[in-house]
Homo-oligomer: A and B are copies of this chain.
Amino acid sequence: MLELTRAYNRSLVPLYLQVASVMRQRIERREWLPRQKIPTLVELEEEFQVARVTVRQAVNILQEEGLLDSQQGRGTFVVEKPIIRHWVKLATSWNVLVESIRDNIPRPIKVANPPLRPNLRADEGKLSSKYIFQRSLQFKEDEPYGVVNVHLAQEIYRQSPAAFRQHPALSVLTDLKGADIQHAHQTVVIGSADPTTAELLGIGLGAPTAECRCVVVNGKGVAIYVADIIYRSDAIQLHIDLLPKPAAHSKRSKGRR
């Protein structure tokens, strides 16, 4: 390393990976457009203040990811159709959530030592006496993008075990008569992949993830459904309508389509 304490030092990850993620971002944000020639190695060296070889390592990574294509003597180009994920839109309302789940074909995963009960914070609801644990994987185009860990109160599970084994728990829950759903909420934070998740999603240990926790509470304040859903960070997107679009008469409860 040089004598210079550079900005990159804040991060412990290798330099060429840092450079690669900045370049990847430029492609995803369409600052570098498909088929376009990106700056030369010399220019990139200067911009990032790194050696030739380091830029090359970064370019190699993006080549293997199918984002860049280098040609000796000509330059390095963004490929014609860089694969950019962010397909799955996280639901922001109950109806949309249930609808989107109904189309899913989650693949169940056997789990060796299932946790007995969810790790509930006090404000999330009271614990039920016993829970059933299920884990499944969500796929899109044969690629796993989400791990679903569901704790379902046994009293609920008992009402229709067959259905719960075959279909997503949430949609069964919605159709269930005696569920008495009172409240449902979801929190999302950015986390990092633990070994199990990394393995299931095919991402690196510690790679960024979106951790969604969805809790359904019944009339007695008991959490009957607690799901921890972990998405790979590049698979999801969240869309929030802050104001209703047409803003006609601001009807609130307009029948559940």
Contact = CB atoms under 8 A, between A and B. Distances in A.
B192 A247 contact: no
A144 interface: no
A10 B198 contact: yes
Please tell me how many copies of the chain the complex holds: 2
Contacts of A182: 243, 245, 247
A55 to B, nearest CB: 14
Contacts of A192: 21-22, 24-25
Contact of A190 (B29, B208, B252): B208
Nearest to A201: B10
A188 interface: yes
Nearest to A93: B242
A99 interface: no
A97 interface: yes
A155 to B, nearest CB: 20
A82 to B, nearest CB: 15
A186 B242 contact: yes
A241 interface: yes
A190 B234 contact: yes
11 contacts: A8-B205, A10-B205, A17-B206, A19-B205, A21-B205, A22-B194, A24-B192, A182-B247, A184-B242, A184-B243, A208-B233
Given A25-B191, A25-B192, 18 more contacts: A11-B204, A11-B207, A17-B206, A18-B206, A20-B206, A22-B206, A25-B194, A86-B189, A92-B92, A93-B240, A93-B242, A182-B247, A183-B244, A184-B242, A185-B240, A186-B240, A187-B239, A252-B252
User: 10 tightest A-B contacts by CB?
Assistant: A11-B204, A21-B206, A208-B208, A190-B233, A18-B205, A184-B242, A188-B238, A94-B242, A184-B243, A18-B206
